[in-house]
Structure 1
Amino acid sequence: MSRASLLLCCLALGFAVSPVSAGEPVFDVHVHLRDGEASLREYRKDVTASGIELAGLAAMWFGGPHQALQGELDAMRTGNDAVIALAARNPHLVPVATVHPYDGQAALDEVTRVAARGVKVLKIHPHTQKFDAADPRVLALVRHAGTQGMTVLMDNANILPGDSERLFNLALQAPKTKFIFAHIGGMNFRFWNMLALARTADDLFADNIYFDISATVVLAADSPIEPEFVWTLRNVGVDHVLLGSDYPQLGIGKAVDALERLDLTAEEKARIRSGNARKLLGR
């Protein structure tokens, strides 16, 4: 009997069904806490309702109405300080800062400032922040972030044409910076199978790309594209795959449930649930 059929039978018979199967604790690497402490309380309620043991979360302040656009320097400093303060009160929370690449030296200075305060992740978003990932100012920013020991989290939902190609080229040009590409390319995830070949080329790829599979995993699980999605995860390297929710758009319960339905081994799922994130983020 399939998992879906078993679930339906249990519901029909009135049996209690846990929202998410128990397993390795979950590290959620993609959380938007737009209203600070209030958002964190709501997020925790969602985690509790899902029956998940949380190992940690990487949280950013911008998203939704807070787009962190070019020139909004005071707002970005205020937002970055707020998420740093939130992390100080909540040790399980990894603060994620942001800047706008087109703010030039001011953006570089802000990266230096937040890195000195212990921030290890920088999030920038080509679509919502309205910048071109191929712009030289973006390369300068991500290289600088790498020198500060920061991992750069970038949206990779392929909202913009050539999204994955631009990001791949950016990572090739900044080999000393580690990247997390969110959503693993969306419905263009197939592109990233190129990494299996890139690893065979001498002096080309520094193996500095990681992926969070937020949202895309929900679409792929139990779908006609699931075998290709699993094949892609193994080609990019399961040890480079992280789990995220993209809260509040989606809850972590949906992401975990979708991951559990993929045809991966228990060991692979455990690494994706939290092991890889803990290793990358030093947690």
Structure 2
Amino acid sequence: MLRALILSSCLFAGTAIAANPVFDVHVHLRDGETSLREYRETVREAGLELSGMGVMWFGGPHQARQGDLAKIRAGNDRVIALAAANPDVLPIATVHPYDGDAALAELARVAAAGVKVMKIHAHTQGFDVADPRVETLVRRAGELGVAVLMDNANILPGDSEKLFNLVVRVPKTKFILAHIGGLNFRFWNILALARTADGFGFDNLYFDISATVLVVADSPVEEEFLWTLRNVGLDHVLLGSDYPQIGLGETVKALDRLDLTDEEKAKIRSGNARKLFGR
């Protein structure tokens, strides 16, 4: 009888996991297949099922620097090859906005290879979001059907405001802002007011809640965070871990602690990402 109960419990747990897959939109795999194996192992240990992952080769000490065109191209090729061998991997390429025409050419090249997301990071790559070269790049990304993932941890004052202005100027490009502003997440409640103006739908704007969700879950500001998620639109909220800095398991646990409905959590865990990326 005990054995039957244990088997039944295991089957139920497996069904629950299978019914709630996770799409991790923010994964740094710096050593290709080796990093992917390590990442998958941490996901298995957490008892999670992946429906997909957005994978990039750069981050931390591995950056795409201005003028380092050969390294950028090689890094992009590695993540494209990784995705070709692993269907659940969504490749995320990068360029440096200040490389001008060379950046535009590399963007076109990776888009032709099937890349649907480009990541650029103002602070680690050393560029100003307000620079016209950034707008030229992200506008071209939209024309090529490539979404743009950008850091929004609000490291410096004014970061969120610059990103807001960029999204307004380039409405035909889809943006994913990582970390939803960090502890400056309150700024994004402005979208509820902005949408009352003609032509300001912000349907092209998405957020991943990587890192920030760990801080706000069970905190004094959790209710404000949930208020923000509803103001930006729960259909536009994505789950990301920012692995290896943060594990997917602890990120999902933090999401589960938020006072959201099961349906809302399912959208954030994977539903919204699958719709956005057509997977």
State the TM bucket, normalised to the shorter chain: over 0.9
Where do residues 34-113 of structure 1 align in structure 2 (5 Å cutoff)? 34-113=30-109
* Residue-by-residue CA offset, 1:124-177 (whole Å, 9 max, x unaligned): 000100100000000000000000000000000011221110001000000000
Q: Which residue type is aligned with residue 274 of structure 2?
A: R
Native 8 Å contact 1:127 1:160 kept in 2? no
Q: Which residue type is aligned with residue 209 of structure 1?
A: L
Provide the rounded CA distance (Å) in 2 between the counterparts of 1:133 and 1:24.
36
Query: Which of 33, 51, 57 does residue 29 from structure 2 map onto?
Result: 33
Query: Aligned residue for 1:187?
Result: 183
Q: Which residue type is aligned with residue 153 of structure 1?
A: L
The alignment partner of 2:141 has SS state of helix
The alignment partner of 1:128 has SS state of helix
Q: Which residue type is aligned with residue 107 of structure 2?
A: V
Native 8 Å contact 2:17 2:49 kept in 1? no
Aligned residues, how many? 266
Identity %: 72
Query: Aligned residue for 1:141?
Result: 137
4+ runs deviating over 3 angstroms: 20-23
* Residue-by-residue CA offset, 1:222-270 (whole Å, 9 max, x unaligned): 0111000011001000000000000000000011000000000110000
Query: Aligned residue for 1:204?
Result: 200
Q: Which residue type is aligned with residue 56 of structure 1?
A: G
Provide the rounded CA distance (Å) in 1 between the counterparts of 2:181 and 2:202.
19
Native 8 Å contact 1:152 1:179 kept in 2? yes
Provide the rounded CA distance (Å) in 2 between the counterparts of 1:129 and 1:234.
32
Provide the rounded CA distance (Å) in 2 between the counterparts of 1:205 and 1:132.
25
* Residue-by-residue CA offset, 1:157-202 (whole Å, 9 max, x unaligned): 0112211100010000000000000000000000000111111110
Q: Which residue type is aligned with residue 268 of structure 2?
A: I
The alignment partner of 1:59 has SS state of strand
Higher fraction of helix: 2
The yes-or-no answer on 1:241 pairing with 2:237 is yes
Query: Aligned residue for 2:127?
Result: 131
Query: Aligned residue for 1:8?
Result: none
Provide the rounded CA distance (Å) in 1 between the counterparts of 2:175 and 2:20.
24
* Residue-by-residue CA offset, 1:51-77 (whole Å, 9 max, x unaligned): 001111000000121110101100000
Q: CA deviation at 1:24?
A: 1.3
Deviates more, 1:205-214 or 1:109-118: 205-214
TM-score by length of 1: 0.92
Provide the rounded CA distance (Å) in 1 between the counterparts of 2:181 and 2:206.
12
Q: CA RMSD in A?
A: 1.5
Provide the rounded CA distance (Å) in 2 between the counterparts of 1:206 and 1:182.
16
The yes-or-no answer on 1:279 pairing with 2:275 is yes
Native 8 Å contact 1:172 1:205 kept in 2? no
Query: Structure 2 unaligned runs (5+)?
Result: 1-12
The alignment partner of 1:123 has SS state of strand
Query: Aligned residue for 1:221?
Result: 217
The yes-or-no answer on 1:265 pairing with 2:261 is yes
Provide the rounded CA distance (Å) in 1 between the counterparts of 2:239 and 2:96.
25
Query: Which of 155, 166, 173 does residue 170 from structure 1 map onto?
Result: 166
* Residue-by-residue CA offset, 1:26-54 (whole Å, 9 max, x unaligned): 00000000111110011001100100011
Q: Which residue type is aligned with residue 42 of structure 1?
A: E
Query: Structure 1 unaligned runs (5+)?
Result: 1-16
The alignment partner of 1:112 has SS state of helix
